[in-house]
Amino acid sequence: MKIVNESKSFSNRKILNHISFDFSKGLYKVEGNNGSGKTTFLRLLAGLERFDSGHRLQHKGDILYLDTNAIGVVPLTIEDNLTLLWKTFNASPDEETLSVIDQFFGERLLDHYLTASVGTKAKVGLSLLFVKDWDYIFIDEALLTLDGFSLDMVAGRLLALKEKATVFYVSHNLSHKQLLSESRVIYLNGKGEIY
For residues 31 and 85, what is the distance between their CA atoms, to the nearest angstrom? 30
Cα torsion 26, 29, 35, 36: sign: negative
3-state class of 11 per DSSP? coil
Residue spans of the domains in the chain: they are 2-187
**pLDDT tens digit at each of 195 positions of the chain:** 888 889 988 888 888 888 888 899 999 999 998 888 899 999 999 989 888 888 777 678 999 999 999 999 999 999 999 999 999 999 999 999 999 999 999 999 999 999 999 999 999 999 999 999 999 999 999 999 999 999 999 999 999 999 999 999 998 777 788 898 999 999 998 887 787
Candidate CATH numbers 2.60.40.2310, 3.40.50.300, 1.10.260.30, 3.30.450.40; the one for domain 2-187: 3.40.50.300
Model pTM?
0.92
CB atoms within 10 A of CB 159: 16
Strands, E, within 141-182: which ranges?
A: 166-170
- pLDDT value at position 58? 66
3-state class of 181 per DSSP? helix
- Count of residues making up the chain: 195
